[in-house]
A and B are shown apart, each in its own frame.
Chain A
Amino acid sequence: MDKNRYFKRTVLALAVSMAFPVSSALAQEDVAELISPSEAEAGVKLQYLNDVNPLYRQYYGLNNDGVNGSADLKLIRRSDEGRWMRLEGRDLGLRTQEFNASVEQQGDWKLGIDYNQIPRFAPFVARTRVTGIGHDTLNLGNVFDDKDLKTERTATSLTLTKFISRNLQANVIFKNEDKKGERLFGANGSANGFVGQLFAPEPIDSNHKQIEASLDYATEKFYVSGSYYGSFFENKAGKGLFVNYGTPAGLFGGNPVATAATPTQMSPLSLAPDNQAHQFALAGGYNWSRDTRANFKVSKSFAKQDDDFLPNSPLVPYLSSMTRRDLGGKVETTNVFGSLTSRLTDKLNLLASWAYEDRDDRTPQTGYVVDVAHGGALIQNNPESQKTHRGKFEASYRLPQGYNLTAGYDYDFRKYEGMEELFRDEVTEQTYRVDVRKSFGDTVNGSLTLAHSERDGSRWGSTPSFVNDGVHAVGLHWTAPTQFSDRERDKVKALVDWAPVDPLSVQFAYEYGLDDYKTRVFDIGLNKGRSELFSVDASYRFNDRWRANMWASHSTNDIEQKSLNSTFGSLCDGSGGNTADRIKNTCVPWGAKLKLSSNAVGAGFDGQINSKLSVGGQYLYSRDVNEYDISFADAGTFSSIRQGAGILPDTEYTLNTLRLFARYAITKATAIRLDYVWDRRELDDFTWSNWTYSDGTRVLVNPDQITRIIAVSVSHAF
C-alpha cells in the first residue's frame, strides 16, 4: 500500500475542497474510494506450461502443455441501503474453475450460489492393456496404452440466510456434488485358486447431496438452536466391478500371467452402496452471569444403507439360507455434549466439558458366507456399535506479570459392542496436562505445554495361542491392534514469540511426542512411536512498501514395530520332509524401525518498486526421507526369509517451488501481471519400481519432474 499516495490525495483534496466548492466532489470521490467495497474487475490469463507433470497436475489440474487460457472476474457492489451483490469467478476455463455469486441485505437476508471444481489426477501414468476403464466391466485387450487416472468433483452449493427477527436466524445450505472418473483399485488375480495381482481401476460416478438447515435464536443471555442435516449418497457407477481376466496358473512357478476371458475369483468386486443419513440436533447455551456460561447439544442421527445387493448369480452365489436382497443397514447415533466455563475469580478460570457418542449399529445379522477355506465357519455380517465418552476438566490461573498457568485432565473412554470378541470391550485413556503461557504485551511471549497420557483397557477377549491347530500358523491373538493397545504418551510443546524490534518478528517452536505401546506376545505389533519438530519463523517489514518472511522446520517421526516372517500355511515349527517344507515352516522374528525425516524451508517477499510496479516471490523447499531399517533373526539354513527381502531402499521426495510475480499498473484501471513458476518434484520411491501387474500393466512415475509456467494476465477495473 502506498500510503503517501493516499495522504497526498486526501489532504490535498480536502484542502482544495475547502477552498473551492466545485472540488468537494473530488475529495468525496477519493475518500469514497478508500471506504467503498465496490469494485468491478475482469481479467484474462494466458499461461504457458512447458510440460505436463503428474505430480504438479495432481490438484492444479493442468493437463495440457502449451498455452492454457482462463479468465477471472470480480464484481462487488454495496448500496447505501446495505445491499451487497457479489460475483466472483476464478480460473474460469480451467479444471479448477470456481464461481460464486450472492445477494445480501446485510443484517436481514443473504442468498448465494457457489460452484467449484476440484480435479485430482493420479501422480503417475499407467501403461496398460486393460480396457473399459471408468466403467463397471474391465477386459483385457492386446494393445498397451498410456492412461491417466483422474477424478473430478463438481460441487454446487446454495445458501440462504434470513434474520426472521433481530434474534432469530434461519440458515439453509444445499450442496450437490458429482464425482466422476476412475482411481487405482485392484484385485487378487486368482482364477483357479492361484494368485497374482491385477490392475483394475475403480469406476467413479457418484452424486452426494447434502442439506443443512438450522433455526437459531440467540440473545446476549442465551441461545437455542435446532438443526437438520441430511446426506444422500448415490453411486451411479454400478454395484460391482466385473474383472474379466485373471491368473489361471503360476503360484510358485514364476509370474502368474493374466489371460482374457478368465475372470478372477474376486470378480465382481463390490462398489460403494448408496446410503443416506439424517441428523436432528438441538443445541443451546446460557450465560449464568458475565463470567459463567453453559452449552449443550443433543443430536440423533439415522443412517441407512439398504441398496440392493448384486443379484444372485453364479458369480455372486447367495448362501441358500440368506434371504435378504439388501443389507438393511441401520445405524442410529446419539451425541450429547455439555460444557461449563466459569471465571470464578479474576484470576481463576474453569472449564468442564463432556461429549458422549452412542453409535448403535442396528443392522440385522444373518449368515452370508460359509468360509470353506477357513474351517467352514459361518460368517455373518458384523455390525459394530461403540459408545465413547470424552471428558475434559481444566483450570487456568492468571499469575503476576502476564503469566498464565493451566492444568487439565482429559478422559477418553470407548466401549465396543457387537464386535468380534477377539479384542477388548473397553479402552480408557487419561491425560494430564500442564500449560504455562505468557501471552501479551512484551518483547518475548510464549507457551510451554507438557502432557502425559495413559491408555489401558479391559481384559482381552482372546488368549494368545501357541498351539498349531493345523489351520492357522502359530501366532493367533499375539498382536494388540494399535487402537486397543495399552499406551503411554508424553508430549512437550513450546512456542516462543520474539519481537526484538518493531519490524522484526521471530518465532521458535518445538514439539516432541513419545508413544510407548505395551505389546501382548513377543513384542509383536507397534512398540514405540516418537516425533520431534523444530521450527523457526521470521518476518521483517523493511518499510511500508517492502516486507519479507522466511521459515524453516525440521521434523522426524520414528516408529518401531515387530512381526514374524511367515508364509501361507506355515506351521512355524521348522518341520517338513524336504527343503521347501522346512523353509515354509520356519518363521523368523523381525523388526522394523521406520524413520521419516522432513526438512522444509519457505521464504517470501513482496514490495512496491514505485506506485505502479509491485513485485513478489515465494520459495518453498521440502524434502521427506523415509528410511526402513529392518532386522531379523538368523534362522539358519532353512530361514523363510528370501534373499534380499528386508532390504528396502529409502524413499525420498523433494519439492522445490519458486514463484515470482510482477504487476504493473498501466493506468489506474488496467494492470498487467507476469507470473513465473518453476517447480521441481523428485520422487525416489520403490512403490512401482520393477513392478508389473499380472495383466502386464506397469505404473510409471517420472522420478524428476520439472514444471515451468509463464503467465501473462491483464486485468481491467470498470
Chain B
Amino acid sequence: MDSLQSLADGFAIALTWQNLGLALIGCFLGTIIGALPGLGPSNGVAILIPLAFSLGLPATPALILLTSVYYGAMYGGRISSILLNIPGDEPALMTTLDGYPMARKGQAGEALAISGIASFVGAFFATWGLVFLAPQLVKVALLFGPAEYFALFTLAFATLGGIASRNQAKAAFAAALGLAIAMIGVDGQTGVPRFTFGEVHFYDGIDFLVAIVGLFALSEVFIFLEHGGKGDAKGETKVKLGRITPPASMLRETSGSMARGTLLGFIAGVLPGAGASLGSFIAYSFEKRLKDRNGTFGKGDPRGVAAPEAGNNAAAGGALVPMLALGVPGSGTTAVLLAMLLALNITPGPLLFQNNPDVVWGLIAALFIGNFMLLAMNIPMVGLFVRLLLIPPRYLMPAVAMISFVGIYGISGSTFDLMVMIAFGVGGWVLRKLDVPLVPVIMGVLLGDQMEKNLRRALTISDGDISTLFASPLSIGLWTLAIVGFILPLIVGRYFRPKLADTAKNEPNIGD
C-alpha cells in the first residue's frame, strides 16, 4: 500500500501543466523518432539529452520528457515495420515478420491498431510492475555494500555481452574499451591524472553525453553516408491504410498473446543488459511455438503482431526497474537515461527512493499519463505519423547530425568536445562495421567510475584483503550469476543465436 500512496503523491507532481506538456511533447517526438527508420530510442534520447540539459529543466521534468520519448519510440517503431517492412528501430524488428504481410493483405489499419493496443497493454502493465517491483528491489539494494555493488556491475557487463552480441569476445572488448575511456581524467580518489597524455581538456574526463551522441547519432549518419543515403534496409512499397479499428474478434484472439508478451517482455527488461529487442524476440518466438498450429505465423497473423509489440513495450518499462532501483541500466536507452540523471547530479539507486521520491514517483505517474496520450496518438492519429515517414533520409540525416552538434555545443560551448564527438562518431562506425556492440562501450563509460570506486572502497574497508569481494552470500550469488551469465550464452548460443542472427541481419548493433 506504501507504493500506492507514493504513486498518488507522484500524480500530484506529474499533473502540472509543464509536466503534462513535456510528456505530450515527449510522446509526440518519441513516436516520430521511433517511426523514422534509422532513428531508434537510444539515439533519439541521446540527441534530446543535451537539449533537456541546456534548457535547465530540473530533474523530474527532464526525466519525464526523455522517458516519454523512450516509451513513444517503442510505440512508433511498429509503424514503419508494418507499412514499409523497415523496422523503425531495433525492437520493432520482430513486428515486420507478421505486420508487413498483414499490410500487404490490406489489413494495414488493423495491424497498426492491434499493435497500438498491444503496445499500450505491454507498457501499462509494465509500469504497474515498476510500481511494485522497484521498491522491493530497493529493499534488497540496501543490503548492498561496495563489494556487492562491484559484483553487480560485473554481472551487468557479463550478461550484457551474451545477449547483445553474436560474439562474446567482442562484447567483452567493448566493455573493456568503455571502462578504459572512463579511466581518462583525474583519478577521483587520489587526484592524480590518468591517461590524459598531457592534454588539459582530458583532465575532466570524457563527458559521457559527448560519447553517447557521437557513438549513437553521428555513427548513424556515417552509416547512411556509406550507403549513399539508403540506410541499412531496402525495399519500399506503398500500402493502403484501411480501417484503423480492429474487429472485436481480432481483439479477443490476440488478448492471450498480449498477456504472454507482456509478461515475457517485462522479465526480459528487468534482467540487466537484455532490453527490449530481447523482449520482443522472446515474446514472438514463444508465441509462435505455442500457437502456430496452422503455419499462419509469418504470413500476417495478428497474434504475431500483438505479442512482440506487447513484449518490447513491457521490456521498456521493465528496464527502468534496475535503472531506478540499483542504478544499473537494463538496456542501451536506460543507460542513456542514467547518463542524464548523473549529469543532473542525481545518483539512481536505493537512495534515490529515499532522497528524491518526487523524481521517482513523479516519473512513474507521468508514464501512466503518457501511456494514455500515446494510445490516443497511435490509434486515431496514426495517419499523421504515417505521412511523416515520407521524409527522405537525405534531408533527415543532415538534420540529425546538425542537431547533435547543437546539443553538445549548447552544453559546453567547447570545440574540443565537438572534435571528441566526431572521433566517437567515426569510431562507432568502425566498431559497427566490425560487429562490435556499442551498448557495452556506453555502459563502460558510464559505470567505469562507479565500478572502480566501489572496488577501491571495498578494499579500503578490508585494508587490501581481496577476499572481501567474495565474503557475503549476496556477492557470491552475484558472482555466480555473472559467471553463468557469461558462460551460458557460449553454450546455449549455438541454438539460440543463429535464429536471432538470422532475423537480425542488416541490423545496426546499437541496442535499444
Decide if A and B are genuine partners. no
User: Which residues of A does B touch, CB under 8 Å?
Assistant: none
